[in-house]
Amino acid sequence: MTASVWVAACAAAALAGPSARAAEPIVWKGKTYARTVDRTAAWEQVGGDLIRGFVNMYHLTILKEPARRDYPYRGWFFGWAAETCNRAQGHGCDMIFAARAPRLEGPWEVWCGDDRWDAGTDVARWKPCLAAGNAIYDSWHNGDPSIVRLGKRYYMAYSATGHNKDGIPFGAPGDTDSDLNCVMGATSEDGLTWTRTAAPLLIEPANIGQAPVEPGSYMHPTGLFHRPSLRRERGKWRLWFDCYTGTDMPMGYAENPGEFGAPDGFRVLRGPANPVEPNYPNPDIVEVRGVLFAYGDPGGLTPLEPTDPDQKAKMDRAWASRKIVELISLDGLRWVPLGFIERDADMQADQVPAAYVEGSTIFLTYGAQPFGGYLYDRIRMKRRTITAAEAAEYKALWRGVAGRNRQRPPKP
């Protein structure tokens, strides 16, 4: 199968479920809160293109390590570096790469193996820190890294895909069971050399060897756990992710009170049958001033029409209907929408957000997609600061309407 076929299949899944499936707008104390509210003015651009020159890469997740004085910022991102599917890198397709920077706005350098780093000028030198293995759920795609540092160890949850039980890639002659999606785990002492968990953190057993919904389709009836957001809170692991219900790509939720990589350690509490938020692919969760903020890129929003005739002619409106949408919560299970962030003027879409918090400021990285295609050819960043008054507003909003105006998910 070609990489473009696989990307198109995943894109179709991410576009599933119109925004109308989400909650109706909330009017509270004279203000409207909804996915359709334009919140772009609240955000400020940080620098220019953080990383570029690659074929298709995104989801730059960031940690700060002040002890590393020259390069206190570390990042991990994924995709295709010098060529489609990283063919020269060996086995697999999407791969995870590591980066570092002296400041958030850069310049960002990408790891090239050993102690070699590239200033973004020689993409062919970049080396993945994690690439596909040989398991039926991990033999093709590694991506969407979400990383927590606990003590001296790094813990990563990431998306993995393999060719499923028949071993035949999706789209290739003879394939009977499509590909197999899951959320994998890995640990590291240095952030560069990673050891996988013995089994996926999340996988839908029914998807193993299961025929897709129809011949030639990528999608299984339900499941397809992917795109994790990992947090450590109050002595337990919390994990948000997206999944497939058969008609929608919502956000789900799992917990693990024990050891990170323990078999069956993560328990899905909100899955395809009772998700925490409809139509919310690519979720990432952070906390500021006691409020949880979620960032995803659901479809079904109205594209911003370009004024430039060439851009207008090239625009793919299905892709442009996916926008970064901001939600807030106090428990991570019931969410209230704040609004969306409009695309950059020179881009068809801004998608696949990853959030980092420093003090009370949220820094949001995203893949920027040029007009007329599906690839993200640069990574950019925006920021906004959450004031004490704003956090208080969100807490009161959530307490006032989350349980009354929005459906409370059933208990597991």
Q: Where are the domains of the chain?
A: 3-401
Strands 180-188 and 194-196: antiparallel
Q: What pLDDT, in 10s, does the model give residues 376-398?
A: 999 999 999 999 999 999 999 99
Q: Please state, in angstroms and as integers, the Cα–Cα distance from residue 358 to each residue in 61, 197, 240, 287, 384, following that order.
A: 13, 29, 21, 10, 11
The beta-strand segments (E) located in 89-151 are 95-101, 109-111, 117-118, 141-150
What is the DSSP-derived secondary structure letter of residue 393?
A: H
The residues facing 382 across adjacent strands are 45, 364
Q: Is the pLDDT of residue 228 over 70?
A: yes
- The chain-wide mean pLDDT, for the chain, equals 93
Poorest-pLDDT segment among 19-23, 88-92, 164-168, 361-365: 19-23
DSSP secondary structure of 174-193: T-SS--EEEEEEEEESSSSS
Q: What pLDDT, in 10s, does the model give residues 279-315?
A: 999 999 999 999 999 999 999 999 999 999 999 999 9
**Which pLDDT does position 403 carry in this prediction?**
57
Q: What pLDDT, in 10s, does the model give residues 96-115?
A: 999 999 999 999 999 999 99
pTM of the model: 0.94
Q: What pLDDT, in 10s, does the model give residues 33-45?
A: 999 999 999 999 9
Q: Which amino acid belongs to residue 283?
A: P
**Which pLDDT does position 18 carry in this prediction?**
42
Bond preceding residue 212 cis, omega within 30 of 0: no
- The answer to whether domain 3-401 has CATH 3.40.50.300 is no
CA dist., res. 25 & res. 86, Å (int):
43
